[in-house]
Amino acid sequence: MDDGPGRPEQQADLLAAEWEKHRPAVFGAAYRMLGSVADAEDVTQEVWLRASRADLRHVDDLRAWLVTVAARRSYDILKSARYRHETYVGPWLPEPLLTGPDASHAVLVDESVSTAMLLIMEELSPPERVAFVLHDVFGLAFARIAEVLDVSGPDARQLASRARRRVAKARQSTPQASKAEREHVLTVFRAAYEAGDMAGLVRLLHPDVVYVTDGGGEVSAARKVIQGGERVAEVMLRVARQLHLDRLDLAEVGGELALVSRRDGRICTVDTVEITDGLITAYRRVLNPDKLVGV
């Protein structure tokens, strides 16, 4: 920000212009920490209100300042979210974030917003998750991270290092498919799904595939993980008949190609997958309508 006095109107105009540039980073940081579009939007609004009331004339790095404010609020929410997830009805999945060209949220997109990565980060402690996102994704200095977490600089560095090791270990067990492979598998899968082709689905599902559905107690969904290619294919086709879906489209969700189903023009499910060696090893479906509002 300009450190000159200026008129209040000029400062407000400057902040508004800078805010449009940095808002994606604020939202992106909050979403990566919380896995919730709604919570990230709330945090983003709070950061804007805080910034609009603050004297920012002597702030050298506005982006870092805004992301730090978002991190402090997200950290508070993240600690309480542990309890919310423990009392959640059925499996909990991150809220889908549409990241394609028609996305309503301009967010910095990389693999750290994928469903698989958010679930890995969900296993970190709140301090580890904050330190990892702020340092490894947004490049903030450990001194700033230490202020957010109320720890020393060396402790902040250690938290980020520990988180990095845990994330790397988890990622080794779930190698990522290329964009071309993902598109091919999902295109063939969609055709088999829409045709009700049981054998076709089984051929694309790993024998030990896991099927996770998040209904949040709002709609009918399996409250336990279903495993096994034939079992998953059977359940998916039975559910498709029950839902009376109109169509299943490819869409970019969390920076990766995914499947979005519609009925009567409204989105019913958002499905993200993990693919290894041409087979789907994990199929995760969000049905909770509260989590589909943003999509």
d(CA 270, CA 261): 7
What's the pLDDT score for residue 106? 47
Which residue's entry shows tokens 């969700």? 253
pTM of the model: 0.88
Spans of the chain, pLDDT less than 70: 1-13, 81-84, 101-109
Residue 272: the pLDDT is 96
User: Whole-angstrom Cα distance, residue 31 to residue 95?
Assistant: 9
* pLDDT score for 245: 80
- Do residues 58 and 66 make contact, with C-beta atoms less than 8 angstroms apart? no
Whole-angstrom distance, CA of residue 176 vs CA of residue 178: 7
- Angle between helical axes of 37-53 and 62-86 (0-180°, round to 10): 140
CATH placement of domain 8-89+126-171? 1.20.140.160
Instruction: Encode pLDDT of 125-183 as tens digits.
Output: 999 999 999 999 999 999 999 999 999 999 999 999 999 999 999 988 777 788 899 99
In CATH terms, 179-291 corresponds, of 3.30.1490.20, 3.40.1190.20, 3.10.450.50, 1.10.3720.10, to 3.10.450.50
pLDDT of res. 57: 79
Residue 2: the pLDDT is 52
Instruction: Render pLDDT for 56-69 as a digit per residue (tens, 0 to 9).
Output: 878 889 999 999 99
Domain ranges of the chain: 8-89+126-171, 179-291
